[in-house]
Amino acid sequence: MAKKVGKTQKIQTVTLVNLTGGMNVAKSQEFLKEDECVNLENFEFDVEGDKLRTRRGLGSPLYSFDSAVTYIYNDYEMNDFFIFLKNKKIYRYEFGKTPQYIGTLNGNEERPTCTKFGGNVLIASGSKLQKYNYQTLSEISQSPNADIVFNRSGRVVVSKSGQDLLIYSAIGDEEDWHENSNDDSARKDVNVGYKDGGDIIGIAELATDLLVFKNNGIIYTIQNEPSDWNIMALGNKSDFISRYACVNLGKDVVFMSTTGLKSYATSMAYANFEPKDIGEKCNPIIKKRVDKPFISDLRRSKQLLVSGDSRGTIFVYHYALKAFSKWTFPGEVTSVCENRYRVLAAMNDSDTSGKIYELSFNNKTDNGKVIHQEILSGEMRDTHDMNVYRTYVDVLSTVKGTADISVNKVTMHHSWEPSDETKEFKTQIRDTKLQFKFETDTNIIFKFVSFDIVMERESMVSQNSGGSSRRGSGFGAKKKSSSSHDDFLKGISGSGGSPYGA
C-alpha cells in the first residue's frame, strides 16, 4: 500500500522556439505538440529555413480605382498584371507605372478566368471569349459562351457553369470553333458525366490528367487527348465550392470544400489519386465562412494563401513545412497574385473603392496600420499549482520596439533597443493551468520565449516501489527539466515553498 511521505519540487522549462508545426485548432489545447500553437498570427516562416518573422506588409496603395478589385491575373511571359474591377473594367498594370485601361468584361462573372495562348491573353467571364493582343481587346464571336478557359495540347479549352460539356478549339487557333468529324484537328466536344445530375463548376489541370469537379460532388478524371479520351469517376462528395479556390501544388490538386481545405494527391491507388485533408489542423476555422473563397499560390515563398470569404483573414499554408499561420488585414483582401519578382494584392474599402498594394518585407505596415503579431501556446495542466518564476525573451529587430509576454492573465512588458533585445523577468505566477502568449506590433524575427516553472509532486512509497510522482498533462508536459537550474532548487524544503524562500 502506497504512503504519502511529502512533496518534491523540480524545474521544468517550456520554450516557444520551434513552432514549425504551426497553428492547430483541431485538437484540444492541452494536447498540442511542442512545435504547435493555438494562434500564429501575422508571422511567416523564412522560405530558406524555419525562421519565424513578421509577415510582409502592404505599405501604401500603388493605385486606387473607382470600383472594388475582384481579381488579379499575371501574364508570366510578359510579367504584367491584369486588374479586374467589380464594375467590369479591365486594367493592364506594369509594376511602377500607371495602370492602363484596356476595356470591359462582356460577361456577368465578376471574377473571370484567363489563359495565355499564342501571345494573346484570353478572358472568359460568362459570354464570348475576349482576346487581348497587347494593343486592343476584342471578342471572339465564334467562340462558345464560357466562364472557364485554359489551354492544352495546342488547343483552347472552355466550359460554362450549368453544363457538363468541355469544348476544345481547333488546334492552334483560338478563333476556330467549327465542328468537323472528319478532321482530327477541328473542334472537339466531350460530355463529362452526361445526365449524372451535376454541372461543371471547376477544372484542375495536371500534366497528364484533367480533374473535373461537378456541383453534385462527383469528381471525374479525363486522361489523354481528344483522339483517345478516357473519362472515369474519381470520387464523390467532394464538397467543391469554387474554381477560384482550386490550384495545382506540384503533382497534387488543392481545393476549398465546405468542410475545409482538401487535396487530391497522386498515388498508386485507385485512378492514381488519393484524397487528403491537408487543412486538417485549421479546417474547423476555415470552413466557418466559405461563401467567396480564393486560393493563391506564392511559389517563391512556398505558401498557399487560403481565404474562405475574401475578407480580412487569410490562412497561410507553408507547404514546405506543412504548417499554418494566419494573416489579418485592415480591409477586404480579394486577390493576391505573384509574378516573377513581386506579389500584388488587392484590398478594398468598399464596392466603389479598390486599391492594389505590393506585399513586401520592405513594407512595415498595412496602409499605415501596424501589423499586430500574436503567438498563443497550448495549455499546460497539472493537479498541483505550477509556479512560473522566471521568463526569458529574445527577438531580433533592426528598430526599437516593444512586446508583451503573458502567462494566463499576467502580462510582462518588454522594451528593447536594436542591440539589446533580450530580457529576463522574475515572477510568481501560480496556477494548475498555464497558457503563454507573445504579442508585438514591431517588425521582428522571433527567436524564443522560455518559461521556468516549479513543478510540485507528491512523494509516495510502498513495499514495491521506492517512490512515485504524478505527472502533469498537456502542452509542454513532456519537456525535460533543465539541468542548469538544479542549483536553484537546493535548500527548498520537501513541504514546498517559493524558490526565493518566501
The per-residue pLDDT for range 194-226, each reduced to its tens digit, is 889 999 999 999 888 899 999 999 999 998 888
- Side-chain-side CA neighbours of 228 within 13 Å: the count stands at 5
Structural domain tally of the chain?
3
Same domain for 331 and 265: yes
Q: 470 in a domain, yes or no?
A: yes
Integer Cα distance of 429 and 390 in angstroms: 9
Three-class HEC string of 121-190: EEEECCCCCEEECCCCEEECCCCCCCCEEEEECCEEEEECCCCCEEEECCCCCCCCCCECCCCCCCEEEE
Domain limit, last residue, from 338, 362, 386: 338
Which residues are paired to 376 by β-bridges? 39, 437
Provide the b/e sequence for 267-303 (b: ≥16 CB within 10 Å). eeeebbbeeeebbebbbebbbeebebbbbbbbeebeb
* CB count in 10 Å sphere of residue 107: 19
**Among residues 82, 45, 149, which one has the least CA distance to residue 335?**
82
In a domain? residue 308: yes
- Do 100 and 225 lie in one domain? The reply is yes
Q: How far is CA 65 from CA 79, 87, 99, 149, in A?
A: 21, 10, 10, 26
- Asked if residues 365 and 57 have their Cβ atoms less than 8 Å apart, the reply is yes
Q: How many CB atoms lie within 10 A of CB 180?
A: 12
- Whether residue 170 lies inside any domain: the answer is yes
Could you tell me the CATH number of the domain that includes residue 102? 2.130.10.10
Q: Which of these three, 338, 365, 397, is where a domain ends?
A: 338
Least confident of 64-78, 348-362, 466-480: 466-480
| Domain-located, residue 26 | yes
Residue 27: inside a domain, yes or no?
Answer: yes
pLDDT tens-digit series, residues 62-82:
999 999 999 999 999 999 999
CATH number at residue 458: 2.60.120
Please indicate, yes or no, if residue 330 is contained in any of the structural domains.
Answer: yes
pTM of the model: 0.89
Which of 166-175, 215-224, 325-334 has the least mean pLDDT? 215-224
Q: Are residues 262 and 296 in the same domain?
A: yes
Going by pLDDT thresholds of 50, 70 and 90, the confidence category of residue 271 is low
| Same domain as 322, residue 382 | no
pLDDT value at position 49?
A: 72
Query: Tell me: the pLDDT tens digits for 128-164?
Result: 999 999 999 999 999 999 999 999 999 999 999 889 9
Please indicate, yes or no, if residue 393 is contained in any of the structural domains.
yes
Residues 225 and 134 in one domain: yes
166 and 290, same domain (yes or no) = no
Q: Provide the pLDDT for residue 496.
A: 39
pLDDT, residue 481, reads 42
Q: Domain boundary at 236, 259, 281, which?
A: 236
Q: Please give the angle made by the CA atoms of 31, 33 and 37, to the nearest 5 degrees.
A: 90
Q: What is each CA distance from 69 to 64, 147, 349, 368, 474, in whole angstroms?
A: 10, 18, 10, 20, 45
Residue 103 and residue 223 share a domain: yes
Instruction: Identify whether residues 227 and 332 lie together within a single domain.
Output: no
* 206 and 258 housed in the same domain: no
Same domain, 244 and 227: no
Length of the chain: 502
Is the same domain home to 107 and 231?
yes
Would 343 be classed as within a structural domain?
A: no
Query: What is the b/e burial string over 304-325, where b = at least 16 CB atoms within 10 angstroms of the residue's CB?
Result: bbbbbebbebbbbbbbebebbb
Same structural domain, 118 and 186: yes
Domain that holds residue 319: 239-338
Q: How confident is the model at residue 266 (pLDDT cuts 50, 70, 90)?
A: confident
